[in-house]
Amino acid sequence: MEKDVIIACDFPSQEATLAFLERFGDERPFVKIGMELFYGAGPDIVKKLRDRGHRIFLDLKLHDIPNTVRKAMRVLAAQDIDMVNVHAAGTREMMAAALQGLNEGTPEGRKRPYLIAVTQLTSTSPQALADQLYISRSMEDTIAGYARNAKEAGLDGVVCSPLEAAAVKKACGQEFLAVTPGIRYPDTGADDQSRVTTPERARQIGSDFIVIGRPITAADDPVAAYHKARREFTGK
Ligand code: C5P
């Protein structure tokens, strides 16, 4: 898949999501369905957006014992999605089980969705990594290590901050995907995000996909905000 911007559709209902996407006219941005929308609208939202022609990243961040994750992935694979994820903190065994479930559940003739792993949430600061998660290695080392685990488990890439995309590529190769939320402009606040940068900088560091929520969804003109981010990130 080509580099692109993914819009985080963090809305509580199908109605709110469709009203937002209506503003894009015939354009069909790559969208992310996260916990709020999936739990609020139910699994039907996936089919609804797929039928409209959107590519979909289902961001449910599974993290449980391997058998549970494997079976959940088998069910999710029946949905027609492009990308899905787990937490790398669940271990290599859990990630391998997720991949197995996804392979088992993907219908004949359909491409398996990309499976990626969250390394450290982009809201986690280096301070919180040390003080609350009790990880004494640096953020970059931790992320590179989690990315290597994900690669060894057979995954396609990781979720990290754009600031760490180069370290991930160095550890796992250029083909290994770096999907990066934590996108902000210098003139706006970071909200609850900690490790942030701009779309242009994300491209320079090596992100494959940038995930943007509030800077687009809460903008006065979300379509213009999306086009600006896309221009800066893909050059198109
Ligand atoms: O509004 P904002 O641009 O901060 O949205 C970022 C989106 O990316 C949210 O939906 C959040 O759940 C998701 N995300 C993240 N950090 C990760 C993984 C996913 O912010 N490591």
pTM of the model: 0.96
Most ligand 1 atoms within 8 A of CB, residue of 59, 60, 62 to mutate: 59
**The residue to which tokens 């992310």 are assigned:** 32
Atom of ligand 1 nearest to the CA of 212: 3
- Ligand 1 centroid to residue 109 C-alpha, Å: 31
Pick the more confident residue, 61 or 193: 61
What's the distance, CA 231 to chain centroid? 20
Please give the mean pLDDT across all residues of the chain: 97
**Measuring CA to CA, which residue among 143, 142, 164, 151 is closest to residue 208?**
164
Span 27-50, average pLDDT:
97
Q: Which residues are CB-neighbours of 222 under 8 A, at least 6 positions away?
A: 20, 23, 216
Three-state secondary structure call for residue 40: helix
Q: Which residues are CB-neighbours of 86 under 8 A, at least 6 positions away?
A: 61, 62, 63, 69, 73, 94, 95, 98, 115, 117, 118
- Ligand 1 centroid to residue 117 C-alpha, Å: 13
- Ligand 1 centroid to residue 32 C-alpha, Å: 10
* Residue 27 pLDDT > 90: yes
Q: Whose CA is nearest to atom 10 of ligand 1?
A: 8
- Ligand 1 centroid to residue 211 C-alpha, Å: 7
pLDDT value, residue 181:
96
Q: Whose CA is nearest to atom 2 of ligand 1?
A: 213
Q: What is the pLDDT of residues 189-218, one digit of tens each?
A: 899 989 999 999 999 999 999 999 999 999
DSSP state of 186: T
Q: What is the pLDDT of residues 158-189, one digit of tens each?
A: 999 999 999 999 999 999 999 999 999 988 88
pLDDT confidence tier of residue 236, bands split at 50, 70 and 90: confident
* Residue 108 pLDDT > 90: yes
Q: Which residues are CB-neighbours of 194 under 8 A, at least 6 positions away?
A: 122, 123, 124, 125, 128, 182
Per DSSP, the residues of 77-143 read TTS--SEEEEEGGG-HHHHHHHHHHHHHHSPTTSPPPEEEEE-S-TT--HHHHHHTS---S-HHHHH
Q: Percentage of residues in the chain with pLDDT exceeding 90? A: 95
pLDDT value, residue 99:
98
Q: Pocket residues for ligand 1 (CB within 6 Å)? A: 8, 10, 34, 59, 118, 121-122, 159, 181, 183, 191, 193, 211-215
Element (H, E) at 39: helix 35-41
167-172, long-range: CB < 8 A, 24+ apart: 167/140, 167/143, 168/119, 168/143, 168/144, 168/206, 169/206, 170/144, 171/144, 171/145, 171/147, 172/147, 172/148
pLDDT value, residue 188:
84
- Ligand 1 centroid to residue 181 C-alpha, Å: 5
pLDDT value, residue 189:
86
pLDDT value, residue 137:
97
pLDDT value, residue 187:
85
**Measuring CA to CA, which residue among 202, 84, 87, 196 is closest to residue 133?**
87
Span 36-44, average pLDDT:
97
pLDDT confidence tier of residue 120, bands split at 50, 70 and 90: very high
* Residue 235 pLDDT > 90: no
Residue 84: beta bridge partners? 58, 115
Most ligand 1 atoms within 8 A of CB, residue of 121, 139, 142, 164 to mutate: 121
Residues with a known catalytic role: 61
Q: Tell me if 215 sits within 8 A of 188, measured CB to CB.
A: yes
* Residue 147 pLDDT > 90: yes
pLDDT value, residue 90:
98
